[in-house]
Amino acid sequence: MAVRCAGSAWVRGLLGWAWPERWFAAGSAFPLSCIHTSTSLQKLGKWEKKNRIVYPPQLPGEPRRPAEIYHCRREIKYSKDKMWYLAKLIKGMSIDQALAQLEFNDKKGAKIIKEVLLEAQEMAVRNHNVEFKSNLHIAESLAGKGHYTKRIRLHGKGMFGIMKIVKCHYFVKLVEGPPPLPEPRKTGFDQAKEYVQQLRSRTLVHTL
Amino acid sequence: MGISAAPRQHAVAMESLLRPPRAVPAFLVVPVRTKRRLFVPEWARELPHEEKEKRLQSLIRTLPEERMERTFYLACTASIIDPYVPPEGDARVTSLSKEGLKQRMEKLKQTAASQLALRKVKDHDPNFSTKTFPEVAQEIYVEAHNSLANFNKQKLHSLVTERCYPDMVRGNRYKTIRWSFVESLEPPRVVHVRCTSVVNQGNLYGQVTVRMHTRQTLAIYDRFGRLMYGGEKLPKDVLEYVVFERYLVNPYGTWRMHGKIVPEWAPPKDPIVKTVMIPGPTLDPSQEYEEMK
């Protein structure tokens, strides 16, 4: 059933002086302005698409697959080299420990990364069926280069330099479960044992 | 001297008449007006509000009506009209006791409104019958759930109305659903028929409620293949009142699933496998939770 009703732009323009309040009350039965026809606005990056893979159902005997949540923030106004220090700080920590460390860190990027982690935690609990929000640890945390814009920076004596306005991306992957134990450091005794083992495992060739 | 002096004085006097003695600068400044924006005609400036309205109404009637370029088509109603109220303890009472018999006696023929609506539906669709329709309805139901499990969107759209589709599909995009229909415990029957018109008179949509008592299995797995709800080898008895709708005026319309009626006395569903945190009240640093309680 096709719907038709009166109302056109030029009529409104003619009589707009008398009924200005009409323009606010768009209370017609079928307001067209609410119909969206666009599908997606921006091109999605590879990291965002990683949240879309669906694994087949697990058989009853298999160990439970830990949930993985990918999150990122693009075009942060910060240097990627400075952001790297914070990303390296968090790598391998549990999410509570990471949040605590970032809260008392003085860098500008710390506040941004904290927001990203909280968003990711919220997403995990709501959309990705993670049961306990503290049961997450940070498996990967990276900083990448964003788009740079070049500007002129004026020096004395009519000289100028080209300034780069620097932006970065930050990527994080949260995995369900306690954080993995750090590998124990290799002591001198272990190294010596290995050396002796190497010597003993040599084979003599072309001899009796 | 005397003869020429008089006309010169006369000329000066004439000039002073033509050019009044004001301080006129050498260049002339002409003020330019901005464009008139909000123009209210004189006759409208002083009138009270009702007078203005009346005059405008008469004007509008003379102006031509323009058509909307984008037309749209309503293929289904937005809700269940006059929902069926299922009797208490429907499947809990055996049909051999007195109450059970009473329930069985409450057939479609006793409600007058359903009869009227049924007559209207039969006008538009002569092949419709309350005896054959429930089987067709059950087939549609099974097919719709199968295509939901297989994510066959085109088929699902043809079996389910636009109002029901988002209810079925919401939240399932990254999940795996396994559903199977084991058997039907009681033969399905029509319990309720209604007919409505939307927007214009005679724009008829017919809604039929079918009562189904069936056994089904449902298992929902999340994105990582972990079981979220139900079990694949766990059949459950399900009593449902499913509403089917058809756009009667359209000769190519089909009966499609429109929604379900959940009675208040329905038993609660099984809980999901995971634990959910319900946040408590926000406290000041000086307060304690035990004091608040």
Question: B117-146 pLDDT, tens per residue?
Answer: 999 899 988 888 889 999 999 999 999 999
ipTM of the complex: 0.72
Compute CA distances A160 → A156, A163, A164, B28, B161, whole Å: 8, 9, 13, 50, 67
Q: What is the pLDDT of residue A189?
A: 96
Work out the pLDDT band at B209, boundaries 50, 70, 90. Answer: very high
Work out the pLDDT band at A174, boundaries 50, 70, 90. Answer: very high
- What percentage of residues in chain A have a pLDDT greater than 90? 75
User: Which pair of tokens denotes residue A96?
Assistant: 């509570």
CB contact at 8 A, B220 and B229 = yes
Neighbours of B164 (CB within 10 A): 22
- Kindly tell me if the per-residue pLDDT of A4 is higher than 60: no
Q: What is the pLDDT of residue A99?
A: 97
Average pLDDT of the segment spanning B18-47:
72
Choose from A189-193, B12-16, B229-233 the range with maximum mean pLDDT: A189-193
- Kindly tell me if the per-residue pLDDT of A15 is higher than 70: no
Q: Among B191, B272, B172, which Cα is nearest to B229's?
A: B272
Tell me whether residues A18 and B52 touch, CB distance under 8 A.
yes
Neighbours of B203 (CB within 10 A): 15
Q: For A122-173, how does the pLDDT look when each residue is reduced to its tens digit (9 = 90+)?
A: 999 999 999 999 999 999 999 999 999 999 999 999 999 999 999 999 999 9
- Kindly tell me if the per-residue pLDDT of B91 is higher than 90: no
CA angle B197, B198, B201 (to 5 degrees): 55
Beta-sheet strand order (sheet of A68-76): A68-76, A168-176, A136-145
- Kindly tell me if the per-residue pLDDT of B100 is higher than 60: no
Q: Does the beta carbon of A24 lie under 8 angstroms from any beta carbon of chain B?
A: no
Mean pLDDT for chain A?
A: 86
Q: How far is B219 from chain A (nearest CA, A)?
A: 10
What residues in A contact B56, CB-CB < 8 Å?
Answer: 15, 18-19
Q: How far is B255 from chain A (nearest CA, A)?
A: 18
- Nearest by CB: A55 against B74, B203, B223: B223
What residues in A contact B63, CB-CB < 8 Å?
Answer: 11, 14
Q: How far is B129 from chain A (nearest CA, A)?
A: 27
Work out the pLDDT band at B23, boundaries 50, 70, 90. Answer: low
CB contact at 8 A, A200 and A192 = no
Q: How far is A3 from chain B (nearest CA, A)?
A: 6
Strand, helix or coil for residue A30: coil
- Kindly tell me if the per-residue pLDDT of B283 is higher than 90: no
Q: Does the beta carbon of B75 lie under 8 angstroms from any beta carbon of chain A?
A: no
Average pLDDT of the segment spanning B32-42:
79
- Nearest by CB: B39 against A17, A54, A64: A17
Average pLDDT of the segment spanning B198-206:
85
3-state helix, strand, coil in chain A (%, to 5): 35, 20, 45
User: Which pair of tokens denotes residue B28?
Assistant: 């002339």
Q: What is the pLDDT of residue B230?
A: 87
Q: Does the beta carbon of A34 lie under 8 angstroms from any beta carbon of chain B?
A: no
Q: Among B246, B240, B239, which Cα is nearest to B133's?
A: B246
- What percentage of residues in chain B have a pLDDT greater than 90? 35
Q: Among A69, A86, A93, A68, which Cα is nearest to A143's?
A: A86
- Kindly tell me if the per-residue pLDDT of B285 is higher than 90: no
Tell me whether residues B60 and A15 touch, CB distance under 8 A.
yes
Q: Determine if residue B230 is left, alpha or beta; phi over 0 gives left, psi from -120 to 50 gives alpha, anything else beta.
A: left
- Kindly tell me if the per-residue pLDDT of A190 is higher than 90: yes
- Kindly tell me if the per-residue pLDDT of A12 is higher than 60: no
Higher-scoring residue by pLDDT: B64, B268 = B268
Q: Does the beta carbon of B176 lie under 8 angstroms from any beta carbon of chain A?
A: yes
d(CA B23, CA B83): 88
- Kindly tell me if the per-residue pLDDT of B102 is higher than 80: no
Q: For A23-69, how does the pLDDT look when each residue is reduced to its tens digit (9 = 90+)?
A: 443 334 444 444 555 567 788 999 999 999 999 999 989 999 999 99
- The helix (H) or strand (E) run that includes residue A198 is helix A188-200
User: Poorest-confidence range of A128-137, B84-93, B256-265, B274-283?
Assistant: B84-93
Q: Does the beta carbon of A131 lie under 8 angstroms from any beta carbon of chain B?
A: yes
Average pLDDT of the segment spanning B16-24:
59
Closest residue of chain A to B221, computed from CA coordinates: A57
Q: What is the pLDDT of residue A5?
A: 40
Would you call A59 exposed, middle or buried from its count of C-beta atoms within 10 A (0-12, 13-18, 19+)? exposed
Tell me whether residues A129 and B224 touch, CB distance under 8 A.
yes
- Kindly tell me if the per-residue pLDDT of A8 is higher than 50: no
Q: What is the pLDDT of residue A25?
A: 39
- Kindly tell me if the per-residue pLDDT of B81 is higher than 70: yes
Q: What is the pLDDT of residue A23?
A: 40
Q: Among B102, B118, B136, which Cα is nearest to B242's?
A: B136
What residues in A contact B176, CB-CB < 8 Å?
Answer: 54, 56-57
Q: Does the beta carbon of A64 lie under 8 angstroms from any beta carbon of chain B?
A: yes
What residues in A contact B36, CB-CB < 8 Å?
Answer: none
- What percentage of residues in chain B have a pLDDT greater than 70? 83
Stated length of chain A: 208
- Nearest by CB: A65 against B38, B60, B226: B226
DSSP per-residue codes, chain B: -HHHHHHHHHHHHHHHHHS-S----SS---PPPPPP-S---HHHHS--HHHHHHHHHHHHHHSPPPPPS------S-SS-SS---PPTTTTTS-TTSHHHHHHHH--GGG-HHHHHHHHHHHHH-TT--TTTHHHHHHHHHHHHHHHHHTT-HHHHHHHB-TTHHHHHHTT-TT-EEEEEEEEEEEEEEEEEEEEEE-SSTT-EEEEEEEEEEEEEEEEEE-TTS-EEEE-TT--EEEEEEEEEEEETTSTT---EEEEEE--TTSPPPPPPSS--PPP-----TT--HHHH-
Work out the pLDDT band at B165, boundaries 50, 70, 90. Answer: very high
> Any idea which residue has 């699933």 for tokens?
B257
- Kindly tell me if the per-residue pLDDT of A119 is higher than 80: yes
